[in-house]
Amino acid sequence: MEYADIWDFDVERVDSNMTLYARWDEDDQELEATASLVYELDEETNTYTVIDVGEETNIVIPSVYEGLPVTRIQGQYGTGAFARKDIVSVTIPDSIVEIGNNSFNNCSDLVEVNIGESSNLDTIGRNAFSGCHSLESLYIPSHVASIGDSAFNNCGAMRGFVVSEDNETYRSENGHLIQNEGNVLIRGSNNEIIPDGIAELSEASFRRSTISRLTIPVSVTSIGNYFIADSNIETIVYEGSQEEWESITKDSMWDYRKDNIDINFAA
């Protein structure tokens, strides 16, 4: 809602009967940080990294801790800051520049990740959200320039990604997350249409997807391993001929556990 007439109490004076309305905007308030977060100080940069949390399920990471900026979420195989935790939501402040490898690995109850439009996030590490079976959407802000391998592996409930229009590295079409260079589909949404122009379908990009049908354009030239593994996909509609389909480079386990997939040809 726009407020055209905002009363300036320092200048304006009441000289007739009027009604003033108070406005409180929740977005303007600093959310209270989760008390059980554990931090590690980088003495070279004078910044903090979040490395662990207690039993809370709704997490708010602060932008500042003990007077210094909080800039990273720890990522390390098996010991990401929130790996295997029972968290449901997380609010990530604009100060965070890196979500490390495995940071939210196997957080199967994670539904909501709040990232603001003014976020300085630059890097989402390898397997950062792998195994987040309940995650339905994610905003990719403008500064993100690196997303690691399998960052969203097994995110089968994903309804769609939203990518900032100012992001030069990634985009979203039909809710799918796409790397601009090479037109690589990194992770599919629950939209069954892969847009024309996509050249590469990356490893596990539709793994555990809940859709039953997938349409692949003739622009696709390669398909990675585990592409549709453990998914509900039963039918692939290929918009070219059988000969064109057979010319696509497919990794040996592209259809892992989907040996009976039905492939229909539009041409």
Model confidence pLDDT, tens digit, residues 154-181: 999 999 999 999 999 999 999 999 999 9
3-state SS assignment for residue 71: strand
pLDDT at 22: 41
**Measured between alpha carbons, how far is 223 from 243 in angstroms, rounded to an integer?**
16
User: Is the separation of the CB atoms in 108 and 85 below 8 Å?
Assistant: no
Mean pLDDT, the chain, integer: 90
**Which two structure tokens, joined as six digits, stand for 266?**
């539009």
Q: Which amino acid is at 214?
A: L
Of 190, 243, 197, which is closest to residue 216 (Cα–Cα)? Answer: 197
pLDDT at 19: 47
pLDDT at 76: 72
Angle at 75 between CA 35 and CA 228, to 5 degrees: 115
**Measured between alpha carbons, how far is 230 from 206 in angstroms, rounded to an integer?**
9
**Which two structure tokens, joined as six digits, stand for 71?**
């800039």
Question: Residue 267 — pLDDT band, cuts 50, 70, 90?
Answer: confident
pLDDT at 13: 56
Please, where in the chain does CATH 3.80.10.10 lie? 33-158
What pLDDT, in 10s, does the model give residues 27-42?
444 679 999 999 999 9
What pLDDT, in 10s, does the model give residues 198-211?
999 999 999 999 99
**Which two structure tokens, joined as six digits, stand for 64?**
């500042």
Question: Residue 254 — pLDDT band, cuts 50, 70, 90?
Answer: very high
pLDDT at 75: 80
E-state strands within 93-132? 98-99, 112-115, 123-124
**Measured between alpha carbons, how far is 89 from 29 in angstroms, rounded to an integer?**
18
Residue 14 scores a pLDDT above 60: no
Of 67, 60, 70, 64, which is closest to residue 40 (Cα–Cα)? Answer: 70
**Which two structure tokens, joined as six digits, stand for 233?**
């996909």
> Which CATH number is associated with domain 33-158?
3.80.10.10
Range with the lowest mean pLDDT among 55-64, 69-78, 152-161? 69-78
pLDDT at 77: 60
pLDDT at 232: 96
pTM score, two decimals?
0.86
Residue 132 scores a pLDDT above 60: yes
pLDDT at 34: 94
Residue 1 scores a pLDDT above 50: no
Residue 2 scores a pLDDT above 80: no
**Which two structure tokens, joined as six digits, stand for 170?**
């990634």
pLDDT at 32: 92
Residue 111 scores a pLDDT above 70: yes
Which of 183 and 19 is assigned the larger pLDDT? 183
